[in-house]
Structure 1
Amino acid sequence: MMEWKDNSEHLLTENVERLLPFANTPVSSLVDDKGKPLLVFPLSFQECEDCIGKQHLFDIAPKGKSYVVKTGNLAGFIGLNDMYITIRSRFGTENGDDYFLHYMLKKVLSVNLFNLKHTATDEQVFDFLLHLFPYFLNKALVQGLYKEYQRNEYNDCNLRGTIDISRHIRCNMPFNGRVAYRTREFSYDNHVTQLIRHTVEYIRTKRLGEMVLHTNVDTQENVSQIVSATSTYQRQDRLQVIKSNLRPVVHPYYTQYVPLQKLCLKILSHERLRYGQDKDEIYGILFDVSWLWEEYLNTLLTPLGFKHPDNRQNAGGVWLGYSLIENKKRNAFLRYPDFYDKERSIILDAKYKSQIDYVADVNQVITYLYRMKGRIGMFVQPTPDENEPKSYSLRGYGEDGDARLIEYPFQIPASVSSFEDFERKIRLSETALKEQIEILHP
């Protein structure tokens, strides 16, 4: 059993050879849709251009007569045969409690029961998949109930499609007043909604099922919508429904159904996350903590009026320039600020890493300030220390001092006695951030 922290270096004196096959390797090569028993959230559930697949699980480099392992923004559990590795957030307590990671999972995904103190057994990971279902279901249903064209056959007196002559002769001769015909019409009862319905019914049979499906009012209402839309549901059709969903949803509007579809397939297939019979197979579940940090800040900032562009879904981006082709403007250089509020004239950048890059990060935020005529550029970083914000006046932007760049330290409680104590103290940090933003309002 080894315990590491994210974005940290750890001395490695044993088991180096067993870890080398998975070191210095992009996560995307360890995760795929062909049954590899390693889940990385959110990479395993959605496709994006700027995803976490390029970063490494961990890196190993020689140092003198031993080795050093360096971790990145991933935290969770991985196992290799009988060897277990726990990667906690760097804000975990000395006794192994990772309240910060727990809290972000609760705020972002409404996951509150996944015990991060144990190893990643099959049952634990499967329970976590069940708890993810409401999150993805509710995000998908925001885009409306999925509908698509269906080919249906009828034989009645209400002709409203193309007559099926051969079937009409076979069924209605001598003439009995009915007409056999085919239609192509929109239907909410289709292979995608059927997959979701089968997942709902499967979850109902599990230990945590009813609790998962009654997480909140939105989940209950969305489950009811799915049940109402799938009147042709039959338990014995499950295998055929799974097969019909092996190809992901391709639709320019229903984009949030892709991760939901993937999750439903994983739940119904009950993919085993640990294969003891396979030698040197890595398994477990990991979280992109930088993604969680950004989405956690989103729960605080969106109610204040901030916009949150999503580079993973290509939504809400800002064009930095354009080119002229045949006297027509063509947009160029699409970028995605983490958060911005035009009324407050603030560009806010979520930075989970411990150190800001004073070249790349600063250049990026200043670019957004100039493009969007912002007055305040703000980095928000988690830190265990109680520090004051650092403020820099920017030259060359109107008059000196007209615009500022701020490093804001968001304090993560360190000395806590329980998760409830952690929640109480981090709410003070949340209030302090909101107050700081209001102070900056012109």
Structure 2
Amino acid sequence: MDVVVFRLSDFSGYSNNNNGEIRKENDKTVVEDKYFYNLEDAEERKLFELLVESVKQFNKNRALALEIPIDENEEPADTNSNEMYQLQEEIHEFPTPSQEMSDPEVLVSKIIDLNLKTGQVYTKNYTCLITCIVEPSPQSAEYIRGRKFDVTLEIRSRFDRAGRNYFLEYILSNSLTPKFFEYFSTPWGTSEIWEWLIVYLFKYYLEKAYRKGVFKKYVEYRYNDPMYKGSADIVEHIKRNIPFTGSIAYKKIELSHDNEITRLILATYDFLKMRYPNAARTILNPKIKAFRAISAIKELVSLNSTRPETIRRVIANASEKISHPYYKEYEDVRRVCLNILRTRGIRIQSEHRADFFALLINISKLWEIFLGSVFVRNFHGEIICESQKEINVFFRDRSLRFLPDFYLEYRGRRVVVDAKYKNNWSKFLDTMDFNLIKNDYLQLVNYIYVTKASAGLIIFPGFTTAVGNYCLNEDVASFKFDNLEPFLYVFKVSIPINEEKRDEWARIFEKNLNNMLISVKNLLTS
């Protein structure tokens, strides 16, 4: 089976000057940062067809994809009563297919878009790891038809490099949960960070569900003894007790902790320990609530879960959705456990591959949550920080709902903060092309107006480069629009890109982050 690995970066596309490379690594083909495929070239067309088939598999199996939870307090908008006021955020940092191409044929997905006519590739606001076995359809090109391909699609942060995930590790470790940084105490390879995140996902949902205690449900038990209770099982009684032996076969429904869901949790835990021993030992350690949940279940349930036939039976028995409202959190646990067991917890280098596995991170949302945690930790209550505070504006027979990312307040002076991860703002500071940020600008102006703020701030990550006349220093760039009075400020948090050692990278990044915080504090308190 041919092995092909695609490695891309988020918010990137065919407009990049560097069109990547195709190379051989041992027994696999690696396609690195390639956003345009020459469909006239046989080799490039073959690779593009494989990428297309992989994205089609993702769309088909999207329900099986696991997504790292970023903000558990986020609730969906009530579309029946209120209208969410939110200007459409541009997905791409360059012209969209409909803007630039006549009669485009675009394969659209949550993570990536592909133009089938031109071979152009657009990544979005997700980092991900997707692995799948591609068996091209009879309609596929002749040179891939009838063959199997082992395909991996990795989309990393544009601030990370192959084999170095310093940016993603850092903002994950400071966003998901307190002390999560301990899990990232040593540099990992590309595959390892995804393995640890699979274990973290299991831990997160199990702890959330265990707040309700160990899951229990009514289970039907069958007995054959003289202590008759429940309802008679006539068929079984005739089979086993004729001639009469003194026992009666009967069925009884009891509320029990020993059920298909608790068995599924144990099977998943044992599997993770076997497949990812280092991650399981560190993340599922005896000091955390998830370990206590596992221990409580083990006292109530006995299961030999390492045998393949046992796992298959557990998966089959747990296929029914949990409908009881009290245990609704256990539905997330059930879904995650099933996905982990069905896909066998894919490892990039593993010889035992399932047909499909996907793990996603919304990195735009992660950047927003990261900034919120940074504000709270560093302002120590001196400056009030509120995030995602809903503001309703009533207009005739309806209401408009506004959700600014943050607002900061100091002695009555308030500013609205909008966290942006896409790199339109970096390009704007370089080119002064207002069309790049027009929607963001109008959105923030509305936030300033409805919150009665004195100013608005845009904070975004960017590479450590000079930005013309708008650099305050080498670490943080800011820009101020001059209208009747200054009211909109732009801060760039510079991301180091050339540091090989993780500790040095973190030191420089924290210095740049601190410079941004000082500038924001001075703006509020001056």
Q: Same fold (TM over 0.5)?
A: yes
1:59 to 98, 103, 114: 114
1:129 to 177, 182, 198: 198
Residues 165-209 of structure 1 deviation map (CA, whole Å, 9 limit, x = unaligned): 879xxxxxxxxxxxxxx9998x98876556445433444445526
SS in 1 for 2:422: coil
Q: Which residue in 1 is equivalent to 2:477?
A: 388
1:112 to 147, 161, 184: 184
For 2:111 and 2:123, the matched residues in 1 are separated by: 8
SS in 2 for 1:97: coil
Change (3 A) 1:215 1:298: farther
Q: Which residue in 1 is equivalent to 2:336?
A: 263
For 2:271 and 2:158, the matched residues in 1 are separated by: 37
Does the aligned pair in 1 maintain the 2:113–2:122 contact within 8 Å? yes
Q: Which residue in 2 is equivalent to 1:433?
A: 516
2:394 to 302, 321, 326: 321
For 1:12 and 1:339, the matched residues in 2 are separated by: 41
For 2:482 and 2:331, the matched residues in 1 are separated by: 44
Q: Which amino acid aligns with 2:333?
A: L
Shift of 1:352: 0.9
Q: Which residue in 2 is equivalent to 1:97?
A: 164
Q: Which residue in 1 is equivalent to 2:104?
A: none
For 1:268 and 1:348, the matched residues in 2 are separated by: 42
Q: Which residue in 2 is equivalent to 1:358?
A: 437
Root-mean-square deviation (Å): 4.8
Shift of 1:383: 0.6
Runs of 5+ consecutive residues of structure 1 not aligned to the other structure: 154-163, 168-181, 310-315, 325-330
Does the aligned pair in 2 maintain the 1:376–1:406 contact within 8 Å? yes
Q: Which residue in 2 is equivalent to 1:41?
A: 67
Change (3 A) 1:58 1:105: farther
SS in 1 for 2:63: coil
2:365 to 284, 291, 302: 291
Q: Which residue in 2 is equivalent to 1:16?
A: 45
1:424 to 507, 519, 522: 507
Does the aligned pair in 1 maintain the 2:496–2:508 contact within 8 Å? yes
Query: TM (normalized to structure 1)?
Result: 0.67
Q: Which residue in 2 is equivalent to 1:340?
A: 407
Does the aligned pair in 1 maintain the 2:219–2:259 contact within 8 Å? no
For 1:394 and 1:258, the matched residues in 2 are separated by: 52
SS in 2 for 1:235: coil
Residues 331-359 of structure 1 deviation map (CA, whole Å, 9 limit, x = unaligned): 63334322234566232222111114432
Change (3 A) 1:15 1:250: farther
For 1:300 and 1:191, the matched residues in 2 are separated by: 42
Q: Which amino acid aligns with 1:361?
A: D
For 1:78 and 1:205, the matched residues in 2 are separated by: 22
Runs of 5+ consecutive residues of structure 2 not aligned to the other structure: 20-35, 78-90, 92-107, 135-148, 222-228, 233-251, 426-435, 465-474
- The 5 Å alignment of 1:63-212 reads 67-78=119-130, 81=149, 86-93=154-161, 97-109=164-176, 110=180, 112=184, 117-118=189-190, 128-140=197-209, 145=213, 195-208=264-277, 212=280
Q: State percent identity of aligned pairs.
A: 20
Does the aligned pair in 1 maintain the 2:9–2:123 contact within 8 Å? yes
Aligned residues: 386
Residues 56-76 of structure 1 deviation map (CA, whole Å, 9 limit, x = unaligned): 42434766xxx4433333334
For 1:235 and 1:308, the matched residues in 2 are separated by: 44
Q: Which residue in 2 is equivalent to 1:221?
A: 289
Change (3 A) 1:263 1:83: closer
Residues 31-90 of structure 1 deviation map (CA, whole Å, 9 limit, x = unaligned): 4336xxxx463499999869x995442434766xxx443333333455662565544322
Q: Which amino acid aligns with 2:159?
A: F
- 2:59 is equivalent to residue 29 of structure 1: yes
Which range is displaced more, 339-348 or 355-364?
339-348
Residues 246-301 of structure 1 deviation map (CA, whole Å, 9 limit, x = unaligned): 344557787655543322222344536589999xx776655433233223223313
Q: Which residue in 1 is equivalent to 2:454?
A: 375
Shift of 1:363: 1.7
Does the aligned pair in 1 maintain the 2:67–2:360 contact within 8 Å? yes
Query: TM (normalized to structure 2)?
Result: 0.58
Does the aligned pair in 2 maintain the 1:378–1:405 contact within 8 Å? yes
Residues 90-118 of structure 1 deviation map (CA, whole Å, 9 limit, x = unaligned): 2234x753422232333345453898755
Does the aligned pair in 2 maintain the 1:31–1:44 contact within 8 Å? no
Does the aligned pair in 2 maintain the 1:75–1:87 contact within 8 Å? yes
Q: Which amino acid aligns with 1:263?
A: V
